[in-house]
Structure formats: C-alpha cells, structure tokens
A and B are shown apart, each in its own frame.
Chain A
Amino acid sequence: MSFDNAYDAITDASDDKHWAFGTGFDDPLSGVDRAVPAGVSTADLTAYCLMLADDALVLSQRLTEWCSRAPELEEDVALANIALDLLGQARLLLTRAGEVEGRGRDEDALAYLRDEHEFRNVRLVEIDCGPGPGGDFAVTIARLLVFSTWRLAVFERLVASKDPVLAAIAAKGVKELAYHRDHAAQWTLRLAGGTEFSRERMVAGMARVWPLYDELFTTHEVERSLPDVAVPPSDVRAEVDEVLDQVFTAAALDRPDVAPMSAVAGKSGRDGVHTEAMGFLLAEMQHLARSLPGAKW
C-alpha cells in the first residue's frame, strides 16, 4: 500500500507492518465473559469500576510527565513502564465500567469526555508532584510507595471478588503492583540513606503526600453497597500501615506528623470533589481528544 503522506502511512490501521504495535487499539476486554453477577446494582458496579480505573488513569498521566525528566535514563524507563501497567489496568476497568453502565460509552469516551466532577479518583493521585515547579522526584517516589502499597492490599482482596472481570483484572494487577511497590521502596531507602540533601528531600516528599493518606481508607457508600464485589478500603488500613512502617524503619524515617487534608462538606475525590491540580491535569490529558474528535493516533 502506498501513501502520499507519511502520517497517513503510520496511522493506517490496516497494515500493521508500518507501526510497531499497529494503531487499531480496540476493545481490551474482547472475548472476556462479562455477565454482571446476579443481585449486583449496575449503577454501583459502574461507579466502583470508575473509582479503580480513575486512580490508575490519573496516576499514569502524572508518571508519564516524568518521561525524559527523571534523574537518570533508567528511571525514565521505569516510571514509563509503571505508568503503562497502570494505563493497562485503567483501560480494562474503564471498558468494564462502560459496558456495565450500558450507555454506549467506551474507554476513550470515559477517559477523554468526562469532566472533573465525574472523576472518582482519590486526591492523592492528582496532586502535582513534579517534575515542574513545586514538585520533586522524592515526592513522586513517596506517592508511588503509598499508592502501590495501598492498591496492592486492595487488589489482593479483590482477587476474590464475586465479579469475575474485577477478579481477573486484580489477579493480573497484583503482580504488577508488587513490582511498583518494591521499586518505590528501593528508592525510598536510597534517598533516605544517601546524602543529607537527598534525605531532606525524601522526608519533605513523604510529608507532602501524607495529608492525603487518610482519604485512601475512607470507605465510600458505593463500596459499602457492593458486598463481596468491592473491597472496603478501611479493611486494608492495618496492613498498609504495617508495610509502610517496615519501610520507614528500614529507611530510618519517621512517619510524617501532618494533619490530613479535609474533605469539602464531607466530599472528596471519590465524590468528584478534587484539588486545584485536577483541572490542569485533565486539560492536558483531554485536550487533543476534545479538539479533534475522532482523531486517530
């Protein structure tokens, strides 16, 4: 097949040889059995899938901001790989959310065409931890350690979910998250045990993310209304505390002593109430898809 324009050639989905992975990214749950278990509310299951999806999608977006900006080349690759794992989890979960909802929204519609108040991620994943002003590599590592420890604990329980799709996504995810947690823990030890300067930054990094720690364990009414399907995050608090304390002990760090960021009239990330950083993140993530509807890349 010949093309007048090189861009037409690389975006042609019919001939995969032009492009390393083809461009015809389609349904990531193709061929998976997707029946909704009996007695489960589709509205609640949709909302729960969005919660788990948005956590992964938004952190994936934040981690890719480091690509080419990390302290060393290997770290560019590592953070991009972790972002890719999370994006994969998000694609599966968004697809599941869309089909359970039954309004014809696919993963792209959910990722690119929802507004801020419709995103149900915890606020921890959206705050700007760098590489731009106000951020730092150590803050990013602190967030990754907290997030992956928490999500791993949730996913280890989600493997037993009554929803077969969630159970399967979790079974795959735990293996990936175990690597993410270890990577973040290794860096925490390295920075805390390095120079006085690197240690100061690690201490500051942990203090920066800690106000958003409590929100992770607040069980939402959606999670409460899906017994045996959802994992109430309050169940994992003791375990996450214990794992992080092990890391703090090994790194000779103190658990930060800072006040939690409060909810707004009782609402926070899971209710669609976000921090100032979220709008900027979505503007960057969504603008291409909204400016050029139907564009292929």
Chain B
Amino acid sequence: MDNSPTCGQARAIAERVLDPELPVLTLADLGVLRDVREDGGRVTVTITPTYSGCPALDEMRADLHRALRDAGYERVEIRTALTPTWTTDWISADGRRKLAEHGIAPPQHKAGPVTLNLTPPVTRVRCPRCGSARTTELSRFSSTACKALRRCEDCSEPFEHVKEI
C-alpha cells in the first residue's frame, strides 16, 4: 500500500481527530491540541488534559497515533503538556457552535469554575433546543466530568452543559 505522507499534512490530520467523549468536536475545536511539529517523517504532537483524571486522554493519544499512522507517518510521538492549563476558554468559536447545534449548552467565556456559592445558583445557561433562559441545574456532574445536567423549564427537555472551568 502506497501511503507515503505528503509533507506538511500532519497538522491538518491531527486537527481532524475527534474528541472521544464529545465526538461532535475535533481535538482542535476542544483546544487540547497544543502543537504539531513535523520533521521529515517524524511527527511530534502535544496535547493537554482537560481534567486531571480525564480517562479520554489515553484514547486521544491512541486516536492521534492511528490517524497519523494511517496517513503514512511512521514515527509519531504524542507528548502531554500540563501548562498552560486547559480551561473551557480554549474551546473555539466553531466548537461552541457545534456543541449548541448538537443540543449541548456551550460554556460561557471567562467564567472559570464556580466559587463557593452559598445562595441559590443564578440561572444563566440557555436551553440549546428552544433558547429559553429558564433552565435548572439537575446535577453539577453528568455523564462525563466536564458536563453538568440541566433541564429546560419551557420545553421540559433535559440537556447537557459543558461547564466552565
């Protein structure tokens, strides 16, 4: 099989790899892809974890390896950078649009994690289906560490929200 890589394609290939937990986003949309370097046939990709315990990090590494290998790159190294720390602000505008289109409320900008909240939480997340601002948090933690579970009080649909961190 002749699949020798065309020089300079590694970045484009790595950018197209999908996030294993939010497969509507690419790793580039999610902002965890920090660097792609190509030196002859050798590719070094740097990614960063979203959460310390994110189990998807190993899967991201494997997917990147596979995508680059399938494109003909034989020497692929995936490095992990812990700094600068990933926050939801690294999710691209395109990524936010894709999340909303798939019924997942995107995180707000520059929000950071909640501070100690001793009064009833203020609702500020809009329903990704009907756009209503009347939504309620059902659980701060949802199917993955990066999402919360909410319900819309107008259309009654439950939906997930990528929470600010």
Contact = CB atoms under 8 A, between A and B. Distances in A.
Interface in A238-285: 243, 246-247, 250
Contacts of A183: 140-141
Contacts of A21: 20, 55-56, 58-59
Interface stretch (A74-82, A110-118, A208-216): A74-82
A168 B82 CA distance: 6
B78 interface: yes
Given A21-B20, A168-B85, A175-B85, A85 B139 contact: no
Given A77-B139, A85-B51, A171 B83 contact: yes
A243 B20 CA distance: 38
Contacts of B156: none
Contact of B116 (A31, A165, A182): A182
Contacts of A82: 141
A165 B81 CA distance: 10
A185 B51 contact: no
A20 B140 CA distance: 23
For B82, B114, B145, which residue has the most chain A Cβ atoms within 10 angstroms? Answer: B82
Contact of B59 (A22, A31, A179): A22
A28 B83 CA distance: 14
Contacts of A16: 59, 62-63, 66
Contacts of A88: 49, 51-54
Contacts of B80: 28-32
For A165, A183, A247, which residue has the most chain B Cβ atoms within 10 angstroms? Answer: A183
Contacts of B58: 21-22, 24-26
Contacts of B66: 16
B113 interface: yes
A80 B53 CA distance: 11
A251 to B, nearest CB: 8
Contacts of A168: 82-83, 85
A120 interface: no
Interface residues of B, number: 42
B18 interface: no
Nearest to B146: A81
Contacts of B59: 16, 20-22
B138 A176 contact: no
A222 interface: no
A86 interface: yes
A151 interface: no
Nearest to B119: A250
B141 A78 contact: yes
Nearest to B85: A171
Contacts of B115: 178, 182
Interface string A166-209: 01110111011011011101100100000000000000000000
A84 B145 contact: yes
B51 A172 contact: yes
Interface string B131-155: 0000000111111010001000000
Contacts of A30: 78-80
A168 B86 CA distance: 11
Nearest to A168: B82
A273 B100 CA distance: 52
13 contacts: A22-B59, A28-B80, A29-B80, A78-B140, A84-B145, A92-B82, A169-B52, A176-B52, A178-B114, A182-B114, A186-B117, A186-B140, A247-B116
Interface of A: 16, 20-22, 24-26, 28-32, 74-75, 77-78, 80-82, 84-89, 91-92, 164-165, 167-169, 171-173, 175-176, 178-179, 181-183, 185-186, 189, 243, 246-247, 250
Given A77-B141, A175-B113, 13 more contacts: A22-B62, A24-B58, A28-B57, A31-B80, A82-B141, A85-B53, A88-B54, A91-B53, A164-B83, A168-B82, A172-B49, A175-B165, A185-B118
